[in-house]
Structure 1
Amino acid sequence: MASSSSTRPPPTKVSRSASCLCGAVAITITGVDKGAVLCHCSNCQKSSGSSFAHNYRFLDADLTFDKGEDAVTRYEDGNTTNGNVLARHFCKVCGSNVYLQPCTPPRMFILHTGGMQDKTQPARELFTQNKHPWVGDVTPIKAKV
């Protein structure tokens, strides 16, 4: 009797595209889907100007600039919880956060979902010890823009 293999097939790579607020930067990231998360770390709160950042994570990933590579600048954030430096990339024109990348392996990219064409519901929350207790407990209103 032949034995069956218990090895898993290689993970499927996915692509997601995003752009900044002014449209000067457009990127595509292709990598292994690690899903969307809400990050409540104090650095994401400060960087996003909000209570959390909604991020989409890719492992073994590659980034392609569809346009505007010269419009991107980077801030190396060394004040992280684990001490690893995280490069935060944003548009020089409008200031939109575009993506993050750890400065040490593995090849990982973190895409801010606000700029994504396809929004993805988060499956997890990170750094919940920093989560504001009122997040999720407010009454929604219909905003007029």
Structure 2
Amino acid sequence: METKTLTGSCLCGSIRYTVHGETQRAFHCHCSRCRKATGTGHASNLFVAGTLTWDAGESLVRHFKVPEAERFTNAFCSECGGRVPRSAAGSGMVMIPMGSLDDDPGIEPQARIFQGSRAAWSCSGHALPGFDAMPG
């Protein structure tokens, strides 16, 4: 795998980060926790074997760990609520919310996971019309 340097930020730009490492996998996750954390039908997450560096705003990063969840933690900006990456302690793995990236990671999601939790209205695979801007 190729080593990459990826940068990104939260919605307001107060938190900026750099991740350096090897992209491992990317998924669209339809679990109920990802849906609740994003307010959307799924979360698009990139997993990188590497390091996470906060370039600005580290003091604004907040974490919410679902008490009964083995792995789920939501990392976000305390100013705008935008999701930001997190590292699992001791794993050497960084999970990046793909929407927070400034760069093209060079990898597309390989699968939709937790499809059994998919909301009936979300990403059914049926073709929808596409628009470059908000339709009139």
- Residue type at the aligned position of 1:101: S
Q: Matches of 1:12 and 1:78 in 2, distance apart? A: 35
* Deviation of 1:68 (Å): 0.8
Percent of residue pairs identical: 28
Indicate which of 42, 65, 78 corresponds to 1:52. Answer: 42
Cα offset for 1:110?
0.7
Q: C-alpha distance in 1, partners of 2:15/2:42?
A: 23
Supply the AA of the counterpart residue of 2:64: Y
Q: Which residue of 2 aligns with 1:95?
A: 81
Q: How many residues align?
A: 130
Where do 4+ consecutive residues of structure 1 move more than 3 Å? Answer: 100-103
Q: Does 2:96 match 1:111?
A: yes
Cα distance change on mapping 1:41 and 1:102 into 2, 3 Å: farther
Cα root mean square deviation, aligned: 2.1
Which residue of structure 1 lines up, in the alignment, with residue 54 of structure 2? 65
The structure whose Rg is larger is 1
Q: What's the counterpart of residue 111 of structure 2? A: 124
Unpaired segments ≥5 residues, structure 1: 1-10
Alignment check: 8 A CA contact 1:21 1:115 kept: yes
Q: CA deviation at 1:140?
A: 2.5
Structure 2 residue ranges without an equivalent (≥5):
none
Query: Which structure exhibits the higher relative contact order, with contacts defined as CA atoms closer than 8 Å and separated by 6 or more residues?
Result: 2
Shift of 1:132: 3.3
Conserved? CA contact 1:86–1:100, under 8 Å: no
